[in-house]
């Protein structure tokens, strides 16, 4: 199995005072031709926003955008009329499609918000804009991979317009899980916090890894780990 590590310290960074953002792939002023994405996965930004800070209303189009909150609370408003607060355990999907405008702000005046923003290229351009949000309790993710987004929205997952299965898991105390990657698919593992061993390679918080050949994915020797696993048609 071919596995390429993307270490946390090698990521791009943008620090605007109110926002500290780490970019796994090229984004904004950070451009790295060797890290433009992986398969349909285009953006993984790890964002920390100070109390009262946030992103003013801005446009998107032709992108599937997922937000995964690690701590704190994120307030969302968009041109579809959606107003919501996203907290740990919640996953938000916004299909930008033909065009959508939205804002994201730290919902607290006293605590920072820490979240992952993920962009996935849609299967085609010109889709109708849409919004969806669901809660996936920590107890359900403990020691196992839980499907949180999928093309067909099966098993209670969010529906995304691309052949991507996104799983989340919480592992600790040396817990171990396995996932089989089928032929013709690739995987990306993003470790949000803690530590874990991926097929013999140590991952620490912020690290990612690309897997481009089929076979078993083994995650073990975990210590307080929270991770995302993308299983994608390539």
The confidence score (pLDDT) of residue 173 equals 87
The confidence score (pLDDT) of residue 217 equals 98
**For residue 183, what are its two tokens?**
């032929």
Is pLDDT at 120 greater than 80 in this prediction?
Answer: yes
Q: What is the mean pLDDT of the chain?
A: 97
Q: In angstroms, rounded to a whole number, what is the distance separating the alpha carbons of residues 212 and 67?
A: 25
The stretch 69-92 carries a mean pLDDT of: 96
The confidence score (pLDDT) of residue 165 equals 98
The confidence score (pLDDT) of residue 167 equals 98
**3 state SS for the chain:** CCEEEECHHHCEEEECCCEEEEECCCECCECCCCCCCECCEEEEEEEEECCCCEEEEEEECCCEEEEEEEECCEEEEECCCCEEEECCCEEEEEECCCCEEEEEEECCCCCCEEEEEEEECCCCCCCCCEEEEEECCHHHHECCCEEEEECCCHHHCEECCCCEEEEEEEECCCCCEEEEECCCEEEEEEEEEEEEEECCEEEECCCEEEECCCEEEEEEEEEEEEEEEEEEEC
The confidence score (pLDDT) of residue 2 equals 87
> For the domain bounded by 10-133, which CATH number is listed?
2.60.120.10
Closest CA relative to residue 146, chosen from 55, 82, 25, 227:
227
> For the domain bounded by 138-233, which CATH number is listed?
2.60.120.10
The confidence score (pLDDT) of residue 98 equals 98
The percentage of residues in the chain with a pLDDT greater than 90, rounded to a whole number, is 98
Tell me if domain 10-133 and domain 138-233 are identical in fold.
Answer: yes
For residue range 188-222, list pLDDT tens digits in order. Answer: 999 999 999 999 999 999 999 999 999 999 999 99
Is pLDDT at 77 greater than 90 in this prediction?
Answer: yes
**Domain positions in the chain:** 10-133, 138-233
The stretch 45-60 carries a mean pLDDT of: 96
């Amino acid at each position: 199995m071919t596995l390429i590590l993307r270490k946390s310290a090698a990521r791009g960074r943008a620090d605007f005072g109110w926002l500290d953002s780490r970019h796994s792939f090229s984004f904004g002023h950070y451009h790295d031709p060797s890290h433009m994405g992986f398969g349909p996965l285009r953006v993984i930004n790890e964002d920390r926003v100070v109390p009262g800070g946030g992103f003013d209303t801005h446009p998107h189009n032709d992108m599937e955008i997922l937000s995964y909150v690690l701590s704190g609370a994120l307030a969302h408003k968009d041109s579809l009329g959606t107003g919501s607060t996203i907290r740990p355990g919640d996953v938000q999907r916004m299909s930008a499609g033909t065009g959508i405008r939205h804002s994201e702000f730290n919902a607290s005046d006293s605590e920072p918000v820490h979240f992952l923003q993920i962009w996935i290229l849609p299967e085609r351009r010109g889709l109708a804009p849409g919004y969806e949000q669901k809660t996936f309790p920590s107890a359900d993710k403990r020691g196992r991979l839980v499907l949180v987004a999928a093309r067909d929205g099966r098993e209670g997952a969010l529906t995304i317009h691309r052949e991507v299965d996104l799983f989340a898991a919480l592992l600790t105390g040396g817990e171990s899980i396995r996932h089989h990657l089928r032929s013709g698919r690739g995987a990306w593992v993003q470790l949000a916090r803690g530590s874990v061993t991926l097929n013999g390679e140590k991952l620490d918080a912020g690290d990612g890894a690309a897997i481009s050949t089929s076979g078993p994915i083994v995650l073990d020797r975990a210590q307080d780990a929270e991770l995302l696993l993308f299983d994608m048609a390539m």
